[in-house]
Amino acid sequence: MRANRGDPLRQIQKKRGIINLLIKIKKPLLCVLMLALVPALTCSVPLEADDPAALLKRVITNLEANELKAENYTFVEDYHNINYDKNGKIKVDNTAKFETVFIERTPYRRKVEENGKPLSGKAAKEEEKKYQAAVAERRRMNAELKNTLFHRESRFGVGYGDWPDLFLATSGGDEIVDGHEVIKLILNPRSGIHPASDAQKDSLHTAIQLWIDKADEFPLHLRTEYLSDGHLLQGSTVEAFWQKEAKSGTYLLASHLIQFKIKYLRMTIPGSTEQKYSGYKRFGVDVRIIPESIQPK
């Protein structure tokens, strides 16, 4: 097949010598131009480490791994709850102290004090009865939460692994928190999501902020804010703070702070709850295998 006079390939072949000459002349200039563009390209194209979605996935991996390590600790919780009436006056103000242990990989809060006084007498016996019942019950329960007429629990939020599907991650920039260099991540609910559970549906009413330690890519501070009315909570914020144990490198909860308006029957009850965690003690089981030949008789 003959090429037409206007065929671009034929025109290029005819002028090959001129084209080669132009390339030889302009090549050094092109190199200078590319070198000049390198800083601009470096700044405009974000590294994978700076990508909020990729960073969020690494943070979730670290949170889940740390959660398993944190289960090896018992701790003390100082609990303070305040409820207000419709005029903003304190209606309920109580404190308690709990010792938290893990039963079947689920934390159990065992009350040891109420309003500054150690439990004793009938109250202490009732708490011991609850503890023994919890041990027996959790050994029967499977991984799913069992709700019955006499056993009802409410849980807020979803697992860390659900965040990428439910929320869009964006960067809030760099900050300094308690001397640590942190990256702030902001998670806003995605549009067009069809929640698979009540917990997911409730979470889509919230926005989440994370202050992530750059060194370990682990959050020092997490704040969940209800942007609209959820299942039970409205106009509420839930905050969690972690501290790193120097010896093991495990991040342990330091405190929870909840400012809430909770819907109960036909009422809306405002209040706040503060939980401080301390007295962490790591527990474990020492196993020694002694050959039969040297076992004591």
Spatial neighbors of 93 by CB under 8 A, at least 6 apart, are 81, 82, 83
Q: Does the predicted TM-score (pTM) go above 0.75?
A: no
Residue 187 has a pLDDT of 98
Distance, in Å, from the CA atom of 276 to the CA atom of 258, rounded to the nearest integer, reads 12
Please give the average per-residue pLDDT across 14-41, as a whole number.
38
Q: State how far the alpha carbon of 208 is from the alpha carbons of 53, 70, 221, 251, in Å.
A: 14, 22, 11, 19
With a CB cutoff of 8 Å and minimum separation 6, the contacts of 110 are 98, 99, 100, 101, 127, 131
* Side chain identity, residue 165: D
* DSSP bridge pairs for 25: none
Indicate if the pLDDT at residue 268 is higher than 70: yes
Residue-wise pLDDT tens digits, 98-155: 998 888 777 889 999 999 999 999 999 999 999 999 888 887 765 445 444 344 444 5
Report whether 141 contacts 120 (CB < 8 A): no
The full DSSP string for 60-86 is HHHHHHHHHHHTTEEEEEEEEEEEE-T
Q: Which of 15-24, 127-136, 273-282 has the highest mean pLDDT?
A: 273-282
CA distance 262 to 229: 10
Tell me how far apart the alpha carbons of residues 9 and 13 are, in angstroms, rounded to a whole number.
Answer: 6
User: Could you give the C-alpha distances from 141 to 35, 104, 135, 137, 197, in angstroms and in order?
Assistant: 65, 9, 10, 6, 20
| Bridge partners for 238 per DSSP | 224, 258
Report how far residue 257's alpha carbon sits from residue 121's, in angstroms, rounded to the nearest whole number: 32
CA distance 57 to 11: 54
* Per-residue model confidence (pLDDT) at position 289: 55
b/e map of 120-129 (b: 16 or more CB within 10 Å)?
eeeeeeebee
Q: What's the residue count for the chain? A: 297
The residue whose two tokens read 């495990």 is 250
Q: Give pLDDT, residue 297.
A: 52
pLDDT at 157 over 80: no
pLDDT at residue number 264: 78
89-103, 107-121, 206-220: which is most confident = 206-220
